[in-house]
Structure 1
Amino acid sequence: MALRAFFRWLSGQAGYRKISYTDADYFNPTANDSRIATALRQKPAPSIEQVRHVLTSIKPATDLDRRDQALIAFALLTGMRDDAIASLALRHIDIVGRTVFQDARSVRTKNRKTFTSWFFPVGDDIEVIVTDWIGFLKSEKLFGPDDPIFPATEIALDSDRRFAPMGIARAFWKNADAIRRIFRQRFEAAGLPYFNPHSIRTTLARHGADICPTQEVWAAWCANLGHESAATTFRSYATVPFHRQGEIFTALLNAQRCVPDRSSEPDPDTVRRVLEHLRKNAA
């Protein structure tokens, strides 16, 4: 697509008149290539139990440990995208109301969309980690409303005169690279494969598909992820994983085997008529 757009632009430039605008159509992919490129594929995502295992494996001995633990817990609690988390300030969090105001004027949301999201019901222990971290920032670090909820790492000279992480700085991350690095380090340290921050959204979508009892609840769950349509959530995140698809078909097969074969049994109405006939003859 980029090459096609370039040649269309090139056809209008001086000195390239021999290149026709329609020549760019030769860069259209075939129908088969288009289907390959747009095919839905399984997205690896951790289970909530795996995320909880990572959180319990982090021993909050330092400020950086506490920040990393709260960061992973917050991603599961809110389902926010990593770049939005990197730009989030304390004023955007309402602990009492259990909400996050994703204000596109300062939070780097996707497509600069502004909306309010609620904490997902993923466990009180997850929520406690986040609330304790915010309380720590406000009471001990004296962070204000405009300070980041997840501050960048402070780099300074150590005792050997080498640059090393020394704690948290009162500064925002410029992008989400550090968040992805933290996820990689913490998941691998817990003995699990690396799951990127965005995969947590898939985790929440699959969890919602399992527990939402009605279409209305499912629609609210999807809106909490920032999706205007529930179909977007289901198509992009909540597709049935391959292993779960196998479990479903195995369960259906077992259920079918447990159903008795009643094809050879007589019809109840026929049995009733025969009994009535026998009683009349006996009388």
Structure 2
Amino acid sequence: MRKHHPENERTKRRYVEFLKHAKQLSDTSIDQALAAIAEFEAANGWRDFRKFRIEQAQKYKRSLAERANPKTGKPLAKATVSSRLMALKGFFEWLAGQPGFRSKLTYSDAEYFRPSANDERIARAVREKPVASVEDIRQVLAAMPDATDIERRDRALIGFALLSGARDNAIASMSLKHVDLGRRTVFQDAREVRTKNRKTFTTWFFPVGADIEKIVADWIAFLTKERGFGPDDPLFPATKIALGENGFEAGGLDQKHWKGAATIRRIFKAAFAHAGLPYANPHSFRNTLAMLGEKLCSTPEAFKAWSQNLGHEHVLTTFTSYGAVASHRQAEIFDQLRTRQVGGDSSVKVAIDPESVAKAVALLTGNPV
């Protein structure tokens, strides 16, 4: 049975070039789009894209709604369904403008891949996820062994993720020269560090404790003084694979960077399991820091600086994407407000300084007064 259509393959190659060079999408995003297109092709017997009919889109949407996740046996998540449908919508919108397809497709054909409004709201809904506290992370660090080079690396890795707030893929690509212990800074240079959207910025160590800072400092001293690592060598080296008595096994540290962040996530998962705590992925440490900033920052200017330290150009990104109030804290706040309402003096009025309000709004929105 045919499992591809030659003309479709040529069309998809052109689409990849469009996504990569015109849309500037990452390889991961492109792979996800291609996977959705391939799945649609398979569902329609790898027919030529020129023979597209809106009934095919409708049939595919119904099949997604009825499909179960092979791992859980439950229906596919609305977010998964929405992601695949929107990838196909984007592809057919592009296709409708290509030579050879303009007489076969219309831009409105792509609209048949759009998820329903209700499904879109469900897919985009923000659901509260447990976020590890600084004390939880400190507990994880205390439980981690540090007898071998790899164990010391793993422990320092988790400490550094909290200290710097850096994303896992950025950490995987950092070199020793990017960390300045004297100034307590991390220079995330997009020419060498895989930062999000390839932004270059400097991060100051977050105030999470001298003990965590010492773990990182000791690790860097170990690499430079005992292992002879130089400025261009990786901050967190990959594991060297050696041939042992039982086959391939870990053989210490290699002077090479990790190619991606998958290993970092596995290290985090194992460390939290070892400590008996729910898994907190590397990215969730940024939520931990955002929540810490809400407690420590007493002025809008301080929180603006905290937000910039996370690599956010706009402070509202920190508020809306990372700074959600946890449900238990929300309950505490409303209990306090309720107490004030019932027991407080309603005749007491607090004067609000208009100038202070204006300055606060200006800092939050990034528009100076």
TM category, shorter: 0.7 to 0.9
**Secondary structure of the equivalent of 1:148?**
coil
Q: Of the candidates 187, 193, 196, which is equivalent to residue 278 of structure 2?
A: 193
Between the two proteins, what is the percent identity of the paired residues? 57
Q: Work out the CA distance in 2 between the residues paired with 1:26 and 1:119.
A: 49
Q: Of the candidates 171, 183, 193, which is equivalent to residue 97 of structure 1?
A: 183
CA-atom RMSD, angstroms?
Answer: 1.8
Deviation of residue 2 (structure 1)? Answer: 1.5
Q: Bigger CA drift: 26-35 or 121-130? A: 26-35
Deviation of residue 14 (structure 1)? Answer: 2.7
Q: Does 1:140 align with 2:214?
A: no
Deviation of residue 252 (structure 1)? Answer: 2.6
Contact 2:179 2:186 in 1 (8 A): yes
Q: Of the candidates 307, 316, 333, which is equivalent to residue 231 of structure 1?
A: 316
Q: Which residue of 2 aligns with 1:214?
A: 299
**Secondary structure of the equivalent of 1:172?**
coil
* 1:29-56 deviation digits (Å, cap 9, x = unpaired): 3433332232222133200000000001
Deviation of residue 235 (structure 1)? Answer: 0.3
Deviation of residue 26 (structure 1)? Answer: 2.7
| TM-score (norm: length of structure 2) | 0.67
Q: Does 1:17 align with 2:141?
A: no
Contact 2:95 2:101 in 1 (8 A): no
**Secondary structure of the equivalent of 1:155?**
strand
Q: Of the candidates 125, 134, 153, which is equivalent to residue 211 of structure 2?
A: 125
Q: Work out the CA distance in 2 between the residues paired with 1:259 and 1:130.
A: 49
Q: Which residue of 2 aligns with 1:109?
A: 195
Q: Bigger CA drift: 38-47 or 52-61? A: 38-47
Q: Which residue of 2 aligns with 1:276?
A: none
Deviation of residue 107 (structure 1)? Answer: 0.2
**Secondary structure of the equivalent of 1:100?**
strand
- Which of structures 1 and 2 has the larger relative contact order (alpha carbons within 8 angstroms, sep 6+)? 1
User: What is the count of residue pairs matched by the alignment?
Assistant: 261
**Secondary structure of the equivalent of 2:252?**
strand
- In structure 2, the gaps of 5 or more residues are 1-85, 348-369
Deviation of residue 154 (structure 1)? Answer: 1.1
- In structure 1, the gaps of 5 or more residues are 263-283
Deviation of residue 166 (structure 1)? Answer: 2.1
Q: Does 1:165 align with 2:246?
A: no
Deviation of residue 193 (structure 1)? Answer: 1.2
Contact 1:43 1:199 in 2 (8 A): no
